[in-house]
Structures are given as structure tokens and as C-alpha cells.
Structure 1
Amino acid sequence: MSSPTFPQLGAGLPRRRVFAIAGALLTASALAACGDDDEDGAPTTSASGGAEAGTIRLGYFPNITHAPALVGVDKGLFAEALGSTKLDAKTFNAGPAAIEALISGAIDATYIGPNPAINSWAQSKGRSLKIIAGSTSGGAGLVVKPAINGPADLKGKKIATPQLGNTQDVALRAWLKSNNLTANAQGGGDVSVLPQDNATSLQAFQQGSIDGAWLPEPFLSRFQLEAGAKLLVNEKDLWTSTSGQFVTTHLIVSQDFLKKSPGTVTKLIQGHLKALEFIKSNDADAQKAANAQIAALSGKPLKDNVLAAAFKNLTFTADPIAASLYTSAKHAEEVGLLKSVDLKGIYDLNALNQLLTTAGQPTVSDAAA
């Protein structure tokens, strides 16, 4: 089977086609908004027959890899698409916390990385969530001290990752194994892998207490621009089967919310597509909007050079790049961080593909290869 395609809304299209797509999305949004909520916020039914919630609680991270969420909130694109449904945005600093909130019912949907979604699917035996759209590809890799020139130079070295079992941690361990280097969950082996907060890793690298790190943007750029690190591995170079594309962030929803309020989920995806189109069509403004949200949420914006470098290293796309998710799960199994798991059914791309078809865009795939 061929690798999935990676369309971005409006990419490579003439101006009139982009306007037509935006018009189609606005028309679909208007149809979905015909069913107003009662004053008490009780669920209603849209004109298309999809039940809607009075409120949707959406999670995301103050991180540039969550730029579609940051832009969508800052520019009011979710609020516009949701109509009378209230958006209750909540932020998290790590995938496990967001997943816990989703499972407990504290949020209804969230932007998140692939491995937390895989872990939740496995632990719940396929009952916790559905992946409803892609969001971000790329922007991860291994940065090291300048004297390190290849895998052989990593023996006896200390390499950080954001968290044990997270997306970048699995990627590092799989790459080490492919280069005949060992690394166990306790920090032993040929290479000592030290899971820790990205900001802590940056400080540790600057102080010389670690030799490198495998991490996502913006820290991939910050290590190089602020600490003099060398990029040893750009992870996109490892994904030859998917043309250099791999899922960094996608949009998920709890199965319970999807069943109860499919109309609201469709509206959420409409807002997501609008955010992707805004990023594609207004790169400079999108960077400013994302950084404004990061500053508001974390208290400190990214430096302009880091922001520009991170954006350049990321691709924002509705395609979930499903083949890379299945491969990531396989890698986690191979390095002993995940038991064998059947991911069949983890995707529900029906609403997304209906919207893409309405907008004259190619549909996306949930195929494993």
C-alpha cells in the first residue's frame, strides 16, 4: 500500500480556490449552528441531525507544536465555528495529565502527542478516545555536543528526553537500538537516557551535565540557537516510508463525548481546519498569534529567532499520518515500553473527511501503511 498523503488546507491552490474552501467551511458551520442551545446549556440537535453540547472543554499545551490550537483560540476561530456552543479552553504541560483529564471527564477533547494516545487506548482496551484529525508533523530530533559526530560517540554519554515513554523518548530508544546501542528504562546501558523536563534539560546541557537530548520544538531550536548544540538527527530523515512526515500532535476526543455530541465534534474540526488555513495563509500573523498565547499562558514568549526556526521545522496538517502512529507503537513495543496493542479503530476520520470533501480537498487515511 502507498504511504498516506499529507494535504494542508489551501496548500498549493490558487487564491479563488482557497476562498471557495473557506466558503464551504463557513457554509457547513452555519448549517451546524442552526440548532441553538437552551439557556441552561443543555444539548441540542443541529439541522444536520448531529447532537450538540452546550459547552466543549478543549485541552492543549502552551507549546509551538500545538500552534493550531494556539492560533484557533487567539483568533477566535474555534468560537466562530462552534457558534452557540461555549468553548472552555484548558491548558496542560504534559500528555499524561491531559489524558487523565480526558478519561476522568474533566475535558472532552485535546491536542496531544501520539504515544499518550496509544497508551490510553491500550490501557482502556480501545474505549477511551478517538483520533479525529491530524495537527502537526515534524519538529523533533537529537541535538548533541559539537564533538559528537555519530552513534558510536554516544557510548557512555547522557541523553535527555522529555518523559519516559513519551513520543521523543520512544524515538530515541528505537534509534539507539537500530544502531546497536542499549538503553534501559532505569538509565543504564550503553547510553544513559534521562527523562526530564525540557527546560531542565536545556539548563543541564548548558552546564555540561548532559551530552544531548532528543526533544521537540521549540527546544530543538533553542538547544541550537541558545546553547550551541549540533543537530545530529533530524527525525524526519528517519521517516522515509511516509516521505519525511510523522505525527507530532493530533486532535483526540473522548468516545463518550463523540457519541453524545457529534455535531459539536464536527464544529470543533471546522475550527481546527480554519486554524490550519490561517497558519498556511498568514504565516507571520500565525507566529505572532501562537506566541501571544504562549506568553499569556506561560508568562514568557519565545524569542523571535526561535519562533521562526521552530515554525520552519514544523508542518501543520489535518492528515493524522496514521502510518507513523502504527510505527511508533511498534517501536515502543520493541524497546519494552509498551505491550502488544491492537490499534484498529483508534481513528474516526468520518467528520474530517466529510468536511474535506465539501471543501474540495483530498480525504485522509487511517491505514497502517
Structure 2
Amino acid sequence: MKNTRILTLTALAVAGMMALTGCASQASADAGASPAATGAGTPATELRLGYFANVTHAPALIGLQEGLFEKELGDTTLTTQVFNAGPAAIEALSAGAIDATFIGPNPSINTFIQSQGASARIVAGVATGGAALVVRDGISSPADLAGATLASPQLGNTQDVALRSWLKDEGYSTDTTGGGDVHVTPTENAQTLTLFQQGQLDGAWLPEPWVSRLVVDAGAKVLVDEADLWKDGAFPTTVLLVRKDFLEEHPQTVEALVKGNLDAIAWIGDNPDTVGAEINKKLTADAGKGLSDAVLARALEHVTFSANPHAETFQQLVDNGLAAGTQKKGSIDGLFDLRILNGLLGADGQETVSADGLGED
């Protein structure tokens, strides 16, 4: 009996140790897993999503046009809001009016720094490329820009920062009130086209399709393709940004959104002959008018769609914003949470992406 009791106690002890080891192993696995994978939070009843009516936001346009987001979201209701540029979308995100948005990297950086990391996280990439400085006839080099008036979509947006930092590198001064050696006037994109056609603007740094609209419809020429300023031509134009609180409370819903983004990127790659027409349908619904075939074809040639947010470029983007005078100093450590994205990529046998030490991956 004594030996039996000893064996029984030993077995219980071993079982207990195995259980504790199992719990420790699970805790260790959960520590590096995405919030959705750990079962944290609950699905949201509603997802309020922002995006722009730009070709650089084509995965958003296709995801909505083809019902890809709604398919992944299931019972979660999807509502959307269209913005002209990033700072306006950040205002809505900060006010709790939207939960996530397709947006440029610089406004994402700004809100993270200003909130000391409390506002939002980048959960996926969307697009690279597709931005340029276009100018009127008579301007053929940076030296011809002295005294010129150039537009950008909005003060502090990604193209505004790119324009101001490039001008500084070329030896020109600018300020946020339109003064300086070159006058930068943030202007809504459609108004920029009109003003350029009227001769009231000398050029503009814009995203697609507005670059192509000014080239094809208004006779502008490209002075600077932003791709030429980055290693291998890869610079982020659009990322997917989610409110930090929403990500923590509803990781399953964020996973569905990220999956919809991946589905849309794949759809674009799989349907090269019809993607333009489908984008045009959504642009027509959002803006009341679509784009010409020539504009769409040119715009799509200059944009690459990928879920990689190119985190390795973000410190340079911070430096550009500081040089442009459009953002505060601060750390972007923690800006990225790519765990959900990488979980989906890994499950599909695709290569995962890096946060470059700036958050979770």
C-alpha cells in the first residue's frame, strides 16, 4: 500500500509539473502571438472604415466594390467614410468617429508621436509608389522653382512632407503659411487640377491618380518621381492604421479587415484586365465621376500593391517630417503591430514582413 501511495503521489506530481509546463509554454506562445490568435477581445458589432478615392487606395476600393471586406467581417456591420487626405482622417480617428483607415505613413507617424503611442497602430501595408512632383511647361529643373507656387493635398500629409523635405534638400525654404522661396499651398486634389489648368499653380506633389490626371488631362510633366528618391524605388504610400483601443478590444474584427486587405491585393494581381474598370465603378460611386482609360492605365503602372508596410523607411519619413516642420520630435517605437498580418501570411505559406524593430511582428 505504501509503495502504491508513493507511486500515486509521484504520478500526480509529474502530472502537475507537466500541466504547469504546458501552461508556461502556452503563456510563452501567447506572449508572441497576435491578439486574435490568443482569443482576446470580442468581434465588433460595427467597423467604421476610412479611405481615399485614390488609386493608391485601390485595395480599399476593390475590397469594397467586390464585397471582400464584408465577406470576411461576417456579422460585423461595415460603414465607410471617404477623406481627401491623411490629417482629416486622423482627426476622425482621434475623435473616435472611425475605427480604422487606409492612410499615408506621415499622418500615421504624427498621431503616434503626438499621442505618445496611445492612438493607433499600423497593422498592414497597402501600396508603394505612385507619387510625384508635376510641373508646368517652362520648369525643367529644380533651379526653375524659385518663387513658384506648388500644391500638396493637405498640410502635413505624406506628399506635403515629401515636397517640403525635397525642396529643403534643393536649397529652398518653405513655411507652413505659404511663405519662403517656394510657396507651398495645401489644396484639395480636384481643386489643384482646376487651378493648374487655369495657370494659378506651377505644379503639385500628388498621389495617383492625380499625378496622371495633371499629366494626361492638363499637360503637366513629371519633374520628380518620388520612387527615384528611395532605395529600390520602394516607399510606402498607403498603410492600414487601426485605433489602438479598437485593436485591443476587437482583434478578431481587425483580423477580418487585414484579411480583406490581403484578399483585395490578391484580387488586383489576379485581374489585371478588369481592375481598372472595377476601380472606376467605385470612384464613380464615391466622387460622381470616374477616370479616363488613359489616366487609369498610367496611374496603375506607377503603383505597387503589397501588404508590406516597409517599416525600414519610417525613420527616414520621421526625419523628413522634422525637416519639413510639420511634425514634433518623438519616438515611433511601437508604431507597428504586424502579428495579425504575419499570422495570416504564414498560414497561407507567404513570406512574413518585418516591423524593423519598431513594434510587434
The answer to whether the superposition gives a TM-score over 0.5 is: yes
Evaluate the alpha carbon distance shift between residue 194 and residue 93 of structure 1 in structure 2; reply closer, same or farther with a 3 A threshold.
Answer: closer
Cα deviation code 1:201-246 (max 9, x no counterpart)? 2122112122111111111001111111111100000002xx1111
**TM-aligned CA deviation for residue 68 of structure 1:** 0.4
Report if aligned partners of 1:53, 1:261 keep a CA contact under 8 Å in 2.
yes
Asked if residue 135 in structure 1 is aligned to residue 126 in structure 2, the reply is yes
1:152 corresponding residue in structure 2: 143
Report if aligned partners of 1:60, 1:110 keep a CA contact under 8 Å in 2.
yes
AA partner of residue 335 (structure 1): A
Asked if residue 346 in structure 1 is aligned to residue 332 in structure 2, the reply is no
Report if aligned partners of 2:36, 2:251 keep a CA contact under 8 Å in 1.
no
Evaluate the alpha carbon distance shift between residue 203 and residue 108 of structure 1 in structure 2; reply closer, same or farther with a 3 A threshold.
Answer: same
SS of the residue aligned with 1:301? coil
Asked if residue 315 in structure 1 is aligned to residue 291 in structure 2, the reply is no
Asked if residue 274 in structure 1 is aligned to residue 227 in structure 2, the reply is no
2:211 corresponding residue in structure 1: 220
- Which of 332, 346, 354 does residue 365 from structure 1 map onto? 354
**TM-aligned CA deviation for residue 310 of structure 1:** 0.8
* 1:118-197 mapped onto 2 (5 Å cutoff): 118-197=109-188
Report if aligned partners of 1:164, 1:185 keep a CA contact under 8 Å in 2.
yes
The percent identity for this pair of structures is: 50
Alpha-carbon distance between aligned partners in 2 of 1:101 and 1:191, rounded to the nearest angstrom: 31
SS of the residue aligned with 2:351? coil
**TM-aligned CA deviation for residue 127 of structure 1:** 0.3
1:112 corresponding residue in structure 2: 103
Report if aligned partners of 2:69, 2:260 keep a CA contact under 8 Å in 1.
yes
SS of the residue aligned with 1:205? helix
Aligned residue pairs total: 323
AA partner of residue 107 (structure 1): I
TM-score (ref. length: structure 2): 0.86
Report if aligned partners of 1:46, 1:52 keep a CA contact under 8 Å in 2.
no
Report if aligned partners of 1:326, 1:368 keep a CA contact under 8 Å in 2.
no
1:4 corresponding residue in structure 2: none
SS of the residue aligned with 2:274? helix
**TM-aligned CA deviation for residue 97 of structure 1:** 2.6
* 1:295-314 mapped onto 2 (5 Å cutoff): 295-314=284-303
Q: CA RMSD in A?
A: 1.8
Asked if residue 66 in structure 1 is aligned to residue 57 in structure 2, the reply is yes
Evaluate the alpha carbon distance shift between residue 121 and residue 227 of structure 1 in structure 2; reply closer, same or farther with a 3 A threshold.
Answer: same
TM-score (ref. length: structure 1): 0.84
**TM-aligned CA deviation for residue 325 of structure 1:** 2.5
Asked if residue 260 in structure 1 is aligned to residue 249 in structure 2, the reply is yes
Report if aligned partners of 2:72, 2:257 keep a CA contact under 8 Å in 1.
yes
* 1:50-89 mapped onto 2 (5 Å cutoff): 50=40, 51-89=42-80
AA partner of residue 146 (structure 1): D
Alpha-carbon distance between aligned partners in 2 of 1:208 and 1:291, rounded to the nearest angstrom: 28
AA partner of residue 347 (structure 2): T
Structure with max Cα Rg: 2
Alpha-carbon distance between aligned partners in 1 of 2:314 and 2:226, rounded to the nearest angstrom: 14
* 1:30-41 mapped onto 2 (5 Å cutoff): none
Report if aligned partners of 2:333, 2:357 keep a CA contact under 8 Å in 1.
no
- The runs of 5 or more residues in structure 1 that have no matched partner are 1-44
Alpha-carbon distance between aligned partners in 2 of 1:304 and 1:158, rounded to the nearest angstrom: 30
- Which of 97, 100, 123 does residue 91 from structure 2 map onto? 100
Cα deviation code 1:77-120 (max 9, x no counterpart)? 11111222222223223322322222222221111111211111
**TM-aligned CA deviation for residue 46 of structure 1:** 8.4
Cα deviation code 1:154-201 (max 9, x no counterpart)? 112111111122111111111111111222222222211121112222
SS of the residue aligned with 1:289? helix
Report if aligned partners of 2:85, 2:153 keep a CA contact under 8 Å in 1.
no
Alpha-carbon distance between aligned partners in 2 of 1:112 and 1:229, rounded to the nearest angstrom: 26
Alpha-carbon distance between aligned partners in 1 of 2:219 and 2:148, rounded to the nearest angstrom: 18
Alpha-carbon distance between aligned partners in 1 of 2:38 and 2:332, rounded to the nearest angstrom: 30
SS of the residue aligned with 2:61? helix
AA partner of residue 250 (structure 1): V
Hey, which bits of structure 1, 4+ residues long, moved more than 4 A? 45-48
AA partner of residue 228 (structure 1): G
Asked if residue 206 in structure 1 is aligned to residue 206 in structure 2, the reply is no
